[in-house]
Chain A
Amino acid sequence: MAAAETPVINAAARASLWMRPHRIVLILIALVIVLASIFLMRWDWLPTYLPLALQGIWRTIWLLVVTSALGIALAIPLGLAQVIGPPILRVPAKVFCTVIRGTPLLLQLWLLYFGLGSLFPQFPWIRESFLWPILRQAWPYAVLSLTISYAGYEGEVMRGAFAGVPKGQLEAARAFGMSRWKMFRRVWLPQAIHRALPTLAGETVLQLKATPLVATITMVDIYAVASRVRQDLFVTYEPLLLLALVYMAITGILVFGFRRLEARIPNRLG
């Protein structure tokens, strides 16, 4: 019900906000800058590289979605292991999160791609194995390292979320005679995810901002396409500015999407 009313108020309020005189001046200045950069900078390369750029954007989004989904799936057991796991699970989970969060992603990526790659010649059987067609390409390393990175950070969040669910909720569930699994599925996990949801948007934006690193291991994402324009034609700023714009657009869509998602889930926490 409330959701139906707020947009109206928001729209009216927003309109009056945008109409303020200093805003109009600022928007005009921004418009002049945009127009100037359109006419004064070099954009003739755009049509030639457009198909490649679209492919790159698709690859970036694909990478973001796949690694975030896999990362969340991995983060739940990581968080849980740290809260109720026996030491044999808890300690490795803790160490994993600490190591992943304590080292730069770029280094993790290079260790996986170039570090493991440098071992292939010593172990010739790797090349005969059925996995070789996959191991030979760059994307599995990109997916793996972005996934474990997301899992490392979100695993820590999930730990807090699991620990933060009020004890009374779980006791009530037990009093109802729920089995441990049912209690986890029906009460603990949904509430923990609900608690972690606000961080999910931020974490996913950070993940998007991490994706261009895969260009350093020969994956052709949108960042790599922009680099190629830079290298082929020696235009430095234009592709980078456009690139920044593309990332801002994707971030905008992500933030908007998560806001809608959060609004749809009723706030049941006291």
Chain B
Amino acid sequence: MARPACYIIGAASTRKSRGHKLSDVLATIFGASSLELLSFQPPNGRGLSLLHGLANSVGIAFGSFGVGLVIGIGGAYGKLYGGPVVRDLLEVYTTVVRAVPELVLILLLYFAGTDLINQLLTALGHAAIDINGVVAGIGVLGVVQGAYSTEVLRGAILGIPQGQIEAARAYGMPPGLLLRRITLPAMLPFAIPGLANLWLIATKDTALLAIVGVNELTQTTRTAAGATKAYFTFFMAAGALYLVLTLVSNVVIGRVERWARRGMPSIAGSH
């Protein structure tokens, strides 16, 4: 967000005649004090609270991605090796989650989820606990991510040459060790593109938690914009932060992909 302000200064100093007009327009759009609003200086600058929101967003994305991964591993195993009932229930779970808007699921799980947990606790004779917005957000998005993870990991496990698993079984390897030593490492290259996509979805889905008032980046931006009336400035700033998060993620994903594919023949055209 430093960009527009640089243009204002640059335009005014180099091209005086036209520069003034441009700087006026930019100043009207972003507000003359937009830099001040985004600075880290407490009286007016809200940069720190935006960064705090970003930290919460990243935390929620990490948490929900992790929860989703755990559900996904269980789900993929259940779908491939589980009994008929388990398989059917998992099918219902993945179908429902993939067909219903995240926003609706978030509202349902946010209100119903914490309600049910507390009712369960009270029934067991414990005191109700306080589930804060961030934790609830992780749980809710984790359930959503889990459904997509299940499908990605199921596909990845099917991508492993099945002889490897059969060989391990023939050696009498117990299932836990088989998962850890053979299935997980072997499926990783197949799973990473799908999981990378899920991570990017997770970072963006955290924005939906603004609807239930969780204090993540979009919600922080919305309150800051409402308080200062500089809607355009703050939404642009938040957009830039999300974009940076995505671009950094892309770089990291590229590295992870190369690491997971090490020792495998390179595939042309894969980014």
Contact = CB atoms under 8 A, between A and B. Distances in A.
Q: Do chains A and B touch in the complex (CB under 8 A)?
A: yes
B231 A114 contact: yes
Interface in B225-254: 225, 229-232, 235-236, 238-239, 242-243, 245-247
B112 interface: yes
A106 B107 contact: no
Interface string A205-237: 100111111001000000100000000000011
A241 interface: yes
15 contacts: A26-B89, A98-B243, A103-B239, A105-B207, A111-B236, A115-B235, A115-B236, A116-B232, A123-B28, A212-B104, A237-B108, A247-B101, A251-B99, A251-B100, A252-B99
B232 A102 contact: no
Given A104-B218, A115-B235, A248-B99, A243 B104 contact: yes
B103 interface: yes
Given A111-B232, A248-B99, A104 B104 contact: no
A118 B247 CA distance: 29
B196 interface: no
A252 B100 CA distance: 11
Interface of A: 20, 22-23, 26, 98-99, 101-108, 110-111, 114-119, 122-123, 205, 208-213, 216, 223, 236-237, 240-241, 243-244, 247-248, 251-252
Chain A to chain B: the 7 pairs with minimum beta-carbon distance, closest first = A104-B207, A102-B246, A251-B99, A111-B235, A118-B231, A209-B101, A115-B232
Interface string B67-104: 00000000000000000110011000000101111111
B145 interface: no
A45 B106 CA distance: 23
A216 B211 contact: yes
B210 interface: yes
A119 B107 contact: no
Nearest to A215: B103
Nearest to B205: A104
B113 to A, nearest CB: 12
A108 B225 contact: no
A62 to B, nearest CB: 17
Contacts of A210: 101
